[in-house]
């Protein structure tokens, strides 16, 4: 049964935000403890951001692969259990052990050194189980991803479209020669994917035992300098040198006079259609092996996308291009069966987008943080229908407390007055005196008719704007939030469980006796 058709609730927290001794969170013991917290608090969904390798600015939405698991999420402590590391190798400097925000650069250097050490033991015959099964299961992408990663090292991290022509064009003889001379480096990247796969299956098994479902996230577009585009150049709008003929973004609107120029390459939907959308369907299938349900980011892009000339510095010169979304989802449904997807339908939602979403019974998103602005009444809980997912906020929003305090931080008088009115509306709607406004707004979401309610952990804990995960349009300082494990108290769990039970969101399969 589609889990999004049942009444339930959950928490949004990316694994890198978990506590842990090595600079940021991972799939280790703290992830399993968080699963137990979810179960105790009556939450049957754990939503994450993409668990692929992070790209520029440590963003999980700008990955060199839309299939691979992130090496940064591999727990070093579990490698001791496998005999691949010694306990003494886990000792980290204080700047990693005590960091209150994720330290990706230092953590990456520390972790990669130990992964290389573990690889040497693996090559000597230690803990090699599961390798052949992984190769067979992930044969669609694994050989080319590991070759791509090895070539990136050999080419000093230059973008693939600046590689020698024979590698850029993927000439068979050049690829065969590269596989031969880079065999050990390819094996290393394959090894890291095996570690991720083992640890993911361990987490997935624990989640199923507890009755907690895992909810993933798929970005609409992929990185230009990534294995997907290099492997499948014919499926993207590129010239003969591999450069983009157009780039993705969104048009100018009330919030941005120039629009947003994201810079991702655009799909050649005609070529995708000729293949039966094989690449996209494999991408969905791969994610559904990891997750019970998936959020489709920028769902509007399945109806039409904003095509910007590659040379244009802003999004002003773009134009809309339609996508065969109905045909695509029909193919996906035939290939995959039920489609447990959330349509991230925020932004300019046209009737055509709504018809596409509803034709495949995909729940849309309603973000409570948007509901108290002028003209945003559609986001108020009493306006919902069952087939939607209500969020107090997302990774791109300020925390709920940060939102309520925004008027106090603003230095512009008009903006300050506008934000104060939004705060007043929010408190009035939730019947809140302001002392525990985050709980009052969580109650409003839980009590709505929406089948699914999800809260960022920052909102459950009542954290202010310093705990915000991402500010769209900014390149630095994002993705660094880390959870203080001491805040996940039995009192918080009990309160959330009571509210969840009151509003009939406790599935019978959830094990809370732990």
Residues serving a catalytic function are 297, 344, 396
Measure the CA–CA gap between 317 and 259, rounded to whole angstroms.
10
What are the tokens at 478? 């994002």
Q: Tell me if residue 96 falls in helix, strand or coil.
A: helix
Instruction: Give the residue carrying structure tokens 């707004």.
Output: 441
Measure the CA–CA gap between 472 and 427, rounded to whole angstroms.
26
Any idea what DSSP says for residue 426? H
Nearest-5° Cα angle at 107, 101 to 109? 155
Cβ 323 vs Cβ 305: under 8 Å: yes
Half-sphere exposure of 373 (CA within 13 A, CB side): 9
Strands 319-322 and 304-309: antiparallel
Instruction: Give the residue carrying structure tokens 């100018």.
Output: 252
What would the 3-class secondary structure string for 246-267 be? EEEEECCCCCCCCCEEEEEECE
Cβ 368 vs Cβ 379: under 8 Å: yes
Measure the CA–CA gap between 276 and 490, rounded to whole angstroms.
50
What are the tokens at 264? 């991702």
Q: Tell me if residue 89 falls in helix, strand or coil.
A: helix
Question: What does the chain come to in residues?
Answer: 514
């Amino acid at each position: 049964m589609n889990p999004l058709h049942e009444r339930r609730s959950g928490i949004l927290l990316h694994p890198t935000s978990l506590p842990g001794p090595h600079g940021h969170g991972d799939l280790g013991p703290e992830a399993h403890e968080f699963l137990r917290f979810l179960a105790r608090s009556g939450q049957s969904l754990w939503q994450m951001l993409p668990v692929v390798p992070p790209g520029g600015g440590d963003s999980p939405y700008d990955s060199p692969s839309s299939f691979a698991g992130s090496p940064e999420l591999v727990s070093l402590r579990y490698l001791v259990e496998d005999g691949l590391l010694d306990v003494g190798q886990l000792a980290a400097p204080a700047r990693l052990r005590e960091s209150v925000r994720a330290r990706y650069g230092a953590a990456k250097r520390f972790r990669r050194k130990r992964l290389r050490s573990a690889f040497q033991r693996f090559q000597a015959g230690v803990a090699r189980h599961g390798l052949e099964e992984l190769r067979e299961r992930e044969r669609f992408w694994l050989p080319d991803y590991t070759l791509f990663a090895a070539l990136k090292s050999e080419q000093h991290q230059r973008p693939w479209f600046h590689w020698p022509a024979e590698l850029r064009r993927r000439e068979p003889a050049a690829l065969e020669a590269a596989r031969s001379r880079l065999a050990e480096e390819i094996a290393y990247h394959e090894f890291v994917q095996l570690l991720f796969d083992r640890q993911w299956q361990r987490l997935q098994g624990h989640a199923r035992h507890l009755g907690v479902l895992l909810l993933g996230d798929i970005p609409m577009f992929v990185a230009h300098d990534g294995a997907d585009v290099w492997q499948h150049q014919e499926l993207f709008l590129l010239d003969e040198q591999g450069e983009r003929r157009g780039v993705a973004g969104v048009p100018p609107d009330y919030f941005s006079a120039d629009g947003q120029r994201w810079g991702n390459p655009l799909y050649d939907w005609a070529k995708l259609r000729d293949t039966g959308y094989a690449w996209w369907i494999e991408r969905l299938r791969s994610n559904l092996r990891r997750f019970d349900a998936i959020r489709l980011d920028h769902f509007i892009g399945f109806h039409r996308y904003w095509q910007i000339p590659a040379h244009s510095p802003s999004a002003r010169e773009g134009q809309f291009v339609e996508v065969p979304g109905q045909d695509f989802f029909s193919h996906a449904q035939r290939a995959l069966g039920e489609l447990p997807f959330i349509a991230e339908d925020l932004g300019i939602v046209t009737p055509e987008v709504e018809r596409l979403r509803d034709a495949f019974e995909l729940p849309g998103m309603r973000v409570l943080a948007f509901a108290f602005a002028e003209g945003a009444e559609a986001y108020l809980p009493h306006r919902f229908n069952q087939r939607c997912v209500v969020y107090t906020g997302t990774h791109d929003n300020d925390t709920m407390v940060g939102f309520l305090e925004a008027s106090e931080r603003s230095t512009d008088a008009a903006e300050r007055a506008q934000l104060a009115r939004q705060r007043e509306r929010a408190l009035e709607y939730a019947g809140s005196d302001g002392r525990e406004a985050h709980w009052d707004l969580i109650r409003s979401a839980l009590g709505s008719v929406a089948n699914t309610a999800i809260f960022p952990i920052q909102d459950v804990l009542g954290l202010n704007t310093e705990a915000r995960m991402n500010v769209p349009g900014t390149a630095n300082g994002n993705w660094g939030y880390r959870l203080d494990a001491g805040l996940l108290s039995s009192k918080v769990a009990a309160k959330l469980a009571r509210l969840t039970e009151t509003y009939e969101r406790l599935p019978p399969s959830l094990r809370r006796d732990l």
